[in-house]
Structure 1
Amino acid sequence: MLTTCPACADPIGGGDDYCENCGLRLTPVPSGDAGVGRDRVEAALGPLAGVSDIGLRHHRNEDAMALLTPGARSPALVGVVCDGVSSAPRSDDAALVAAETGAAETARALREGAPANEAAATGMTRAAGAVAALADAAGSPACTYVAACMPEGGGPVTVAWIGDSRAYWLPGGGAPGPARLLTRDDSWSAAMVEGGVLSEEEAENSLYAHAITAWLGADSGEVEGHVATVALEGPGAVVLCTDGLWNYAPAAEDLAALLPGAERDPAAAARRAVEAALEAGGRDNVTVVVMSV
């Protein structure tokens, strides 16, 4: 039985479902119940905030997010966003388990002294294992994964990802450099563009534009995720999101125009991004996490 939270190490009661300090889920997700109560989820934790919404055309929310801020012993801001693969069974379970496991294990590794890039990789690996463990006779649940962590008080931001959920950097007023995409999609269209086979417009208009080539799940094969540590000169915001948002604003400059001053009010920025996706059609679940730098 757990006596301390695996993410922030605060004491917990034997019957607690969630840590009162950092909000981590402490009990397993019952099979088939992961989507209950998740049509709209909002979390605002000061410099870190997120919104996950079912969208306008889906019957359940197969996205998930997890947010951790420095508590009693948690050393960093950690945000994770996952998007369940809709063609796989229990994709909502996969996304939730991956997000919560990834955040908790990243924080644990940081607390034990691991460098940020190793901690982020550990979080992603443990998330992959947790999703693979959901496989049963009905098939293999699967999801994408993107995470960011930043030391308390600021510093380099480390991003880990697999699939096509994205991380962006949006500089604030006075910060140098343009907005930019910090991740590279594991997708058929990205591979075609990188290989010079198709133009970006041709790839985006293809029937296979959103086919991913890497994911978390028991059937993913020997696929390695990506980890990058980036020195970002603030003020500004790191935005993690599923394709439910970036389908409508794929270029970094488009997202920056949509979310000016995101670093000043991450919660308002996350809500504004989700509402913009809904106003544009809301074809997919949409999840956005904003981390102020």
Structure 2
Amino acid sequence: MILSLPGLMLKGIRDMWSHPWAQLFTLAGVTLTTFLAGLFVLLLFNVGQEISRQQGQVEFQVYWSKDADQNEVKAQWESLGKWENLEEIQTFTSTQALRELAAEMGRDITPKAAGKSSLPPTALLVFQVPESDPQWTRVLFEKLKNQPEVADVHFNPLQMDAARSWVTASERFIWPLIGLLALASGLLVGNTVKLAQMARRDEIEILRLVGASRTYIRLPLICGGMALGLAGGLLGTGLLKLFQMAARELLLTPPLLMELHFPPLHQAAILVAGPVLAGLLGSWAAIRN
């Protein structure tokens, strides 16, 4: 009986399970490699999300002189709140700064001690850095430093560069590792397809004798390998989703309070499509001769 193209594809999927234990071990291996690759993608995506949230922002700590007039300092705070590109401002008088420090140390301060605070008035400023002006941060630093009664200004000029460098270094190592996992999936599927080919050696020889084409013989084996890759990809991605849901609950509890997001749809689709492609290539490599 001559089978149609869909019939050949279904036959290949059915024939793969003539050795169920081999298929199950291969399926487990493909699922595991997909899950591990998904963990790396999950890590990169969430770190990238966090960096994108902070990308382009710079934080300044501005300290006024201890003997600065408090009314003048408050007037400067009100003026600073209107500066261009300012995202957030937090201000602390000498007394407030002492109370914050004591709270962090787990101590209480007396009203007498609060009135004699030696800490300077402080402001914490967060600015959005314009992408078109790379020198903007340095100019703003000098501008803040030259404000009346300002004693010192602190900021981290390497903050954004360090974030970009981390992402670049991570991608340089993690993506090749994901490629190695995909290669492992292809080898697993290829070995299983080769096993199925050897088990059907007599059937294949008969098909060749009666004039069956290479496509007619190879297509069921290739489809079986792709089906294994698809099943492993779906199971591995499903396990990744379960892991993300469980880890999200854990990370949202104090003191971490971190949000763990599942990768977007196109990245999840790649996690499923990758094992299918590995199954295709592995199957083809196993039966090309």
Q: TM-score normalised to the size of structure 2?
A: 0.23
Higher-strand-fraction structure: 1
Higher-helix-fraction structure: 2
Greater Cα radius of gyration, structure 1 or 2: 2
